[in-house]
């Protein structure tokens, strides 16, 4: 058993609260254990210059952590400039969502996805992707209801989860403490059909064998399926009122 009482293959408690923000076209608060991220989607009726007059839409993301989302205060990006880590994560979020959306069905509009971490205990990037998909789905359903889209552009759900090797044992969904002790850590972004959007894996100490990677992949696949079940239930509950 882990310090929080979970089995090695068990996710932290997950809660997704839809329509968390009043003004965004789509929003959700995701709570993954002690990690909490507000995800919102805003619709803009234009696209970047490279997509102008193509008939295609675009999805892009921004990611930030509030100053006291961590144990010690971190200065805001607006004051010190956005860090390389923030750029990396927001590009990952954007890629993950674009992978499961038919951009031609969006028309020439941009969906801005904002992920703001209000409390961090590991897994902020994976929580952001999982919560952002719900916010994106709600925004698209709103556009469909308004008659601004002729068909649903979402191809299939996507979610993300972390895995790692801690004290010789493969664990699913690492807390900050587990991640800081991990000999190997990885993030898996997977679709409902089991396809890979992105995998980030690194040895923190010694190189690791393929069989260990396969074990993490299998564990991540099961974790993502559970997260997608939660996503779909939240979206269905909203539809049914």
Ordered by start, the domain boundaries in the chain are 14-239
Q: What percent of the chain has pLDDT over 70?
A: 99
- Residue 169's DSSP bridge partners are 166
**The domain 14-239: what is its CATH number?**
3.30.230.70
In whole angstroms, what is the distance from residue 32 CA to residue 165 CA? 20
**What is the average pLDDT across 222-230?**
98
pLDDT at 110: 98
Looking at the predicted structure, is the pLDDT value of residue 94 above 90?
yes
CA 125 to each of CA 47, 178, 195, 238: distance values in angstroms, whole numbers, following the listed order: 25, 16, 19, 25
pLDDT at 78: 75
What is the pTM (predicted TM-score) of this model?
A: 0.96
Looking at the predicted structure, is the pLDDT value of residue 68 above 80?
yes
Kind of pairing, strands 169-172 and 196-203?
unpaired
pLDDT at 77: 80
- 75-99 in b/e form (b: 16+ CB < 10 A) is eeeeeeeeeeeeeebbebbbbbbbb
Look-up of token digits 């997509």: 51
Q: Of 188, 25, 235, which Cα lies nearest the Cα of 114?
A: 25
- The pair phi, psi for residue 65, each rounded to 5°, is -115, 130
């Amino acid at each position: 058993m882990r310090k929080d009482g979970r089995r090695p293959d068990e996710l932290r408690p997950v809660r997704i609260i839809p329509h968390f923000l009043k003004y965004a076209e789509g929003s959700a608060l995701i709570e993954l254990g002690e990690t909490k991220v507000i995800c919102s989607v805003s619709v803009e009726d234009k696209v970047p210059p490279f997509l102008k007059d193509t008939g295609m839409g675009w999805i892009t993301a921004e990611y930030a952590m509030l100053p006291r989302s961590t144990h010690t205060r971190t200065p805001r990006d607006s004051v010190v400039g956005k860090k390389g880590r923030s750029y990396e994560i927001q590009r990952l979020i954007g890629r993950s969502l674009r992978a499961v959306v038919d951009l031609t069905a969006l028309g020439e509009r941009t969906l801005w996805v904002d992920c703001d971490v209000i409390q961090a205990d590991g897994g902020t990037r994976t929580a952001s992707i999982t919560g952002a998909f719900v916010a994106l789905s709600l925004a698209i359903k709103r556009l469909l209801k308004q008659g601004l889209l002729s068909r649903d552009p979402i191809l299939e759900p996507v979610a993300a989860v972390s895995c790692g090797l801690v004290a010789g044992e493969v664990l699913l969904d690492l807390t900050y403490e587990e991640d800081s002790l991990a000999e190997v850590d990885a993030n898996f972004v997977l679709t409902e059909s089991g396809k890979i959007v992105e995998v980030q894996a690194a040895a923190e100490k010694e190189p690791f064998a393929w069989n260990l990677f396969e074990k993490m992949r299998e564990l991540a696949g099961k974790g993502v399926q559970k997260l997608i079940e939660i996503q779909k239930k939240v979206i269905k509950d909203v539809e049914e009122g």
